[in-house]
Amino acid sequence: MLDISPSLLYPLVATLLAYLIGSLSFAVLISRVMGLADPRSYGSQNPGATNVLRSGNKAAAALTLLLDGVKGWLPVWAVVHHGAAYGLSDGTLAMVALAAFAGHVWPVFFRFKGGKGVATAAGVLFGIEPVLGLATFATWLIVAYFTRYSSLAALASAVFAPAYYFLGHQVVWYVDNRVLLAAVIMSGLLVWRHQANIAKLMRGEESRIGKG
């Protein structure tokens, strides 16, 4: 019989659960429940809140945004506040953060075809540290307000998030290199997932918030 020590088992279980929670594509699920078209069949075909908004149903988009954020926040928050009782370290926190985000981008329940991960990444950052999440969200709001480009706001937030973590912990606490690396990887994946948006921005073809 395979004997796995708790020091190895608990981090693996936490990481797997985070991935499975992240794999819940709420854009698709909420659209089904509310009788809307599958968000993968129109607009950018991205199963995310921004594309759900193109359906004209603001409530569905808002609910998608909220739940996509919660599924990133919940597993990370659980490790931060309850992980010590199970011997979960900052290394596990880094793995759980990446797993929740990866679940959204490559969901096992939806043939590994997921969204770009903006809301889920925001939830992860709030789970790591609320101030970090607020600073990143404020960046998104400022860029979105002045440019009206959701994608550009997401890109700016992705770039600044690791810097906020590094600078904040230099002043307030300490920098855990594993969590910092997770933030950098997550930000890099966000930028990579926005390749098509970057191309449209450069051509001046990207849709602005509130327009078609």
Contact call for residues 160 and 190 (beta carbons, < 8 A): no
Where do the H-state alpha helices sit in 23-57? 26-33, 49-53
What integer pLDDT is reported at residue 207 of this predicted model?
A: 84
1-30, pLDDT tens digit by residue?
456 676 788 999 999 999 999 999 999 999
Residue 106 has what DSSP assignment? S
Contact call for residues 72 and 107 (beta carbons, < 8 A): no
23-64, pLDDT tens digit by residue?
999 999 999 999 999 999 888 888 989 889 888 889 999 999
